[in-house]
Amino acid sequence: MRFKRLAEYFEKIEKTASRLEMTRFLAELFKEAGAEEIDLTVYLSLGMLRPKFEGIEFNLAEKMMLRAVSTAYKVELKKAEAEYKKTGNFGAVVANLAQPGQEANLTVAQVYKRLLDMAMDEGLGSQDRKVKSMAKLIQDLDSLSAGYVVRIPINNLRLGFSEMTVLDALSWMAKGDKSLRPELERAFNVCADIGLIAKEYKNKGIQRIMQIKPQVGVPIRPAKSERLPSAEKIAEKLGVFGVEGKWDGLRVQIHLDRASAPSSSLRASAGKQTLFENESQALVRIFSRNLDNMTAMFPEIAKAMEQLPVKSVILDGEAVVYDPKTGKLLGFQDTVTRKRIHGVGQKAEEMPIKVFVYDILLVDGESLIDKPFTRRRQILERVFTPSVSETLKLAEQNIISDVEQLRELMTKYLQLGLEGVMCKKLDTAYQAGARNFNWVKLKKATEGDLVDTIDCVVMGYYFGKGKRTGFGVGAFLVGLPDEKGTVGSIAKIGTGLTDEQWRELKTKSEKCKTKEKPQEYLVDKNLEPDVWLRPELVVEILADEITRSPIHAFGLALRFPRLINFRDDKNVSDATSRKELEKMYRMQKG
């Protein structure tokens, strides 16, 4: 397929606000794409080159892209900057500066390879080489194609759909409806490479998709928990169930394969920070809740994995830092400081980490996700007997059926500094990517009526007055996503932050500022912030209650909201949803 054809589809998709029409356009695109390029087409349509967990980064900032555009069209940099300042849209900058009548015959695969080569270019002088390579690519494309290509490296393509819409479109491609979505989503949940899923489906059909199993090195989308308002409700719903602690740390999924050392091609595609290769050539990968590869950040976890008596394994657990002098577990804000590229070894000594492992999804090449939780637990206990290290710890578990026992365990874990308990059904499979009542969390009671904190998307911020003008932020707007991908406002927050939190909010906001209101945002004109942010920053919010609202997007708002944590380990898909908010509203006490 010619890249220009892909750009024409992008233009159609960008001009429609209808989710159904968008899905149909994508289905037509995927049907037209060749079997050898469907994965590349899917990646590019999502504004990326490889799955997120491989960590491919362009490292091409907006200023560098403006240099590339000005070089390509032989105009002064100031003119390109002025066009961008006027429009705030790189596609419009290209359209206004491009020479009329320019045509190109580059294919999707050719454009993809040139972009990938740029992204993989590292070392001395790489930035200048990237600018020159991008300028040459722009020159080799028509203006429509170039207008979309320049937006990909700066994370600005954003056509308004996600991997879930891609799955819908793949079903539409073959059936003309969403009937195959459940099987496609199941496969994506256990093998979170959307391009691979598309390629397998295009080449081999739904029968191949039904056979897809977990693979070491490719993350499984983690199972999620539901909420119930009280210990009594949990005991009533679950009957006989397992109880484990709920740690306030980082969700981690750890992969080990002794027999499969990373090949040179895999290492090249994964980038510098994604692999740990030990002396015996074992492959270890550590993934976050939102599928970021954190392997290089936790060398002690990778080392501890080497002691496990298995050939291959995938573990699910929670990583928490502790005070090396007292042994006391610390909180999320301390744990998240371990997410770093530089100074990893020193930080590991200052703030060592424990991983409390509570599930096992694969062992010695055999998938366990379809086995009941009791069987997975038996296998997990066998792997961890005897205890393998101080870094990897088997999560303690109690099997109970009584509400008083649940209250006693809740008290015990709270006294140990945990944030509550996780209650789990014993006879269920591991449902990757799903949120249901197989797992139910019970957290420490708050002063208000809410049964849990709420993970919100920061939509934008206001400049503020007085002292806060020094921070650059005086208040911020948060919202939640609905099932269609719309992010609607639920609260404007202007109090309850420390000076340090205000500064951190400003620093994090700088990384996702955008000149235009994101098209998926639903915000009343009286609430529009001074600065819009792309939907990338997630924060944990505590409120006294959820109330009816005539101004916020979904008719609900938070009363007395305050910031608890910045959740760098979560993205928009991990935020509390509109449906969950409505359920929490109904669950409020009284």
Which residues are catalytically annotated? 246
DSSP string over 174-209: HHSSSTTHHHHHHHHHHS--HHHHHHHHHHHHHHHH
- Sequence-ordered list of residues with C-beta below 8 angstroms from that of 169, at least 6 positions apart, any chain: 23, 24, 26, 27, 29, 30
Q: Which residue has the tokens 């008083």?
A: 404
Helices (H), 193-286: 194-210, 231-238, 264-270
Distance CA 74, CA 133 (A): 15
Among 37, 60, 47, 39, residue whose Cα is nearest residue 14:
47
Distance CA 67, CA 88 (A): 16
3-state percent helix, strand, coil for the chain, nearest multiple of 5? 40, 20, 40
Among 479, 467, 484, residue whose Cα is nearest residue 527:
479
Torsion sign (Cα): 487, 488, 490, 494: positive
Distance CA 48, CA 510 (A): 21
Tokens of 167: 């799955």
Torsion sign (Cα): 82, 83, 87, 93: negative
Torsion sign (Cα): 13, 572, 242, 298: positive
Among 545, 555, 531, 544, residue whose Cα is nearest residue 480:
555
Torsion angle in degrees (nearest 10) through CA of 483, 571, 368, 355: -150
Distance CA 257, CA 536 (A): 32
Among 467, 541, 542, 533, residue whose Cα is nearest residue 506:
533
Distance, first Cα to last Cα, the chain: 60
In this structure, the number of other CB atoms found within 10 A of the CB of residue 240 comes to 12
Question: 505, exposed or middle or buried, with CB in 10 Å at 0-12, 13-18, 19+?
Answer: buried
Q: Which residue has the tokens 């379809």?
A: 370
**Chain centroid offset of residue 555 CA:** 27
